[in-house]
């Protein structure tokens, strides 16, 4: 069962972080459809099949903690393959002691500027009507896994870096807002370096450690349309010069995968494909 790490939630009212401003033209879809309505049998089957394939590959990896991505939206126009990221871990006590994979991730309440943290099984994580029924994961190093796993088991600790105020294009080095992939990155930074007990400290450490956000090129017309029509899109946390030039630096799955592999904190990237 899906579990909000604070209070009960309404199914269908939450959306995964995505980074495409094309959503202005299609406001009903944000990784998880915002409109009420049940997925089709075909969608449910595809999501469960992807969950089963992912579980098999995760088990085969021998890892206990991975960065797990899904393709909720088509972000190819920005040169990106994946839209949404969670921290997945093996709960050895689940399923009668046989173990089961859980995902902790951040979801935005559709039509609002707020988000919250959730703990889900793989079936729920992938039954989100994604653009593409594929997944990718990066196993963390054994040392990093040992640092992250205790946080994921502790609802209070895992929420330490969480900021409810949400923008899907939040600036990577500002604390005014926070998008879903940014929460994963900052939580990982806190686990890897215990002195990172605040978002600003974590962001400074990430910059020093060579993290480079993705820079999306978004023109003025698109930015204005997004700002006027969607509560979960803000640009005022970005540096003025970059904002006026349409250079929006934000945390993406692809940039996180690149950083973790490049700094040898995990990897390589493994893909779970349809029919695999």
Name which of 253, 201, 262 is nearest 85 in CA terms.
253
Reported pTM: 0.87
Domains identified in the chain, total number: 1
Q: Which domain holds residue 233?
A: 3-272
Q: Which two tokens stand for residue 246?
A: 């349409």
pLDDT tens across 216-228, in order? 999 876 777 766 5
Does residue 223 or residue 13 have the better pLDDT?
223
pLDDT for 2 equals 56
pLDDT for 12 equals 38
pLDDT tens across 99-128, in order? 999 999 999 987 799 999 999 999 999 987
pLDDT tens across 24-66, in order? 322 323 334 455 567 788 888 999 999 999 999 999 999 999 9
* Residue pair 226/99 in contact by the 8 Å Cβ criterion: no
Please state, in angstroms and rounded to a whole number, the distance separating the CA atoms of residues 231 and 276. Answer: 38
pLDDT exceeds cutoff 70 at 94: yes
Burial of 247 (0-12, 13-18, 19+ CB in 10 A): middle
């Amino acid at each position: 069962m899906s579990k909000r790490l604070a209070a009960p939630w309404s199914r269908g009212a939450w959306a995964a972080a995505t980074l495409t401003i094309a959503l202005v033209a299609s406001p009903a879809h944000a990784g998880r459809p915002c409109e009420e309505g049940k997925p089709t049998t075909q969608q449910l089957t595809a999501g469960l099949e992807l969950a089963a394939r992912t579980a098999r590959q995760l088990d085969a990896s021998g890892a206990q903690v991975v960065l797990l991505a899904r393709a909720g939206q088509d972000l190819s126009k920005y040169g990106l393959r994946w839209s949404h990221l969670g921290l997945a871990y093996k709960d050895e006590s689940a399923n009668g002691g046989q173990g089961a994979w859980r995902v902790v991730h951040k979801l935005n309440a559709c039509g609002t500027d707020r988000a919250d943290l959730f703990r889900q099984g793989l079936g729920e994580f992938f039954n989100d009507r994604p653009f593409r029924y594929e997944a990718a994961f990066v196993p963390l190093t054994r040392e990093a896994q040992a640092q992250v796993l205790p946080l994921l088991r502790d609802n209070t600790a895992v929420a330490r870096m969480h900021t409810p105020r949400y923008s899907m294009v939040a600036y990577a080095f500002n604390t005014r807002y926070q998008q879903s992939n940014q929460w994963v990155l900052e939580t990982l930074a806190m686990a890897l370096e215990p002195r990172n007990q605040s978002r600003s400290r974590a962001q400074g450490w990430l910059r020093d450690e060579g993290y480079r956000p993705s820079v999306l090129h978004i023109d003025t017309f698109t930015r204005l349309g997004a700002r006027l029509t969607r509560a979960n899109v803000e640009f005022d946390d970005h540096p003025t010069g970059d904002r006026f030039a349409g250079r929006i630096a934000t945390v993406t799955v692809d940039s996180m995968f690149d950083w973790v592999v490049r700094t040898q904190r995990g990897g390589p990237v493994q893909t779970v494909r349809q029919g695999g």
